[in-house]
Structure 1
Amino acid sequence: MSTAAQVLAIFIAVVLVGVFVMEAILYRHPKLYPLFLTKREDLDAVRMWTVNMGWYNLSTAAALVIGVILAANGHESAGGALVTFTAAQHTCMAVVLVVSERRLWLNALMEGIPAAVLLILML
């Protein structure tokens, strides 16, 4: 795994930890309503979605970090496979996000572009 791929994977992991905090912990904060297309009256209804997605993003961040650690410690194929799968998964999820809700196109770009670049670096 190239140094560029490792750095990008760790960068994406750090961003995903931030997204976890926003989705699973701070989703009720009014400044986040536009990001998630939510309203105050909808917060109880979307709680399960936001908390679930937050933990999904945290586990994805962990997969990226573990992949880089594995690759850096002599387990190149296992680490590379983990990082490649995770990059492909997030690239796909960005497409699903914009197809399912076009107003989230910027969120999809922020998720998809780094993941697609990482996927290209891994292939």
Structure 2
Amino acid sequence: MHNVQMTGLIQVLGAVFGVLLISVGIVETLFLRDQRLQRLSVADPDNTETVRLGTLNQGFYNVIWGVGAIVGALMLGGANASAGEAVLLFVCIGHMVLGLAMFLTERRLWGLAIAEAVLPLIITILLLV
């Protein structure tokens, strides 16, 4: 088990990651048609309605993943810290895999793929040392 300072750092990073995921999910769900956000997508702006359903679902997935990260981070400081570690580790490994999948399927999104995977990688390393 980690010392108090390390656990606190992991909790903060996990909560930040969760808030980021929830924020991205909200943007994907509510603001897909905003022209300022088109650069985050490879979809043709004229086909926004075509990709709306997939993006809407993806937004909800990110919100759920974010809630999982926050719950796992909070549980780290409680009586069942190992369960919190497992939940947070699952979310982080999942997003590292998703970042890799994003890069492998659409190289133009390499920046988003890195953004998707770096913080979870840091949290995973901290959880496993």
TM class, shorter-length: over 0.9
Question: Is contact 2:72-2:84 (8 Å) kept?
Answer: yes
Q: Which residue of 2 aligns with 1:98?
A: 103
Q: Which residue of 2 aligns with 1:60?
A: 65
The structure 1 segments of at least 4 consecutive aligned residues displaced by more than 3 Å after TM superposition are none
Give me the whole-angstrom Cα distance separating, in 2, the residues matched to 1:69 and 1:114: 17
> Is 2:129 aligned against 1:86?
no
Q: Count how many residue pairs are aligned between Structure 1 and Structure 2.
A: 123
Aligned-residue identity in percent: 28
Give me the whole-angstrom Cα distance separating, in 2, the residues matched to 1:28 and 1:122: 38
Gaps spanning 5+ residues in structure 2: where?
Answer: none
Gaps spanning 5+ residues in structure 1: where?
Answer: none
Q: Which residue of 1 aligns with 2:121?
A: 116
TM-score, length basis structure 1: 0.95
TM-score, length basis structure 2: 0.91
Give me the whole-angstrom Cα distance separating, in 2, the residues matched to 1:9 and 1:69: 9
Q: Secondary structure at the match of 2:76?
A: helix
Q: Which residue of 1 aligns with 2:36?
A: 31
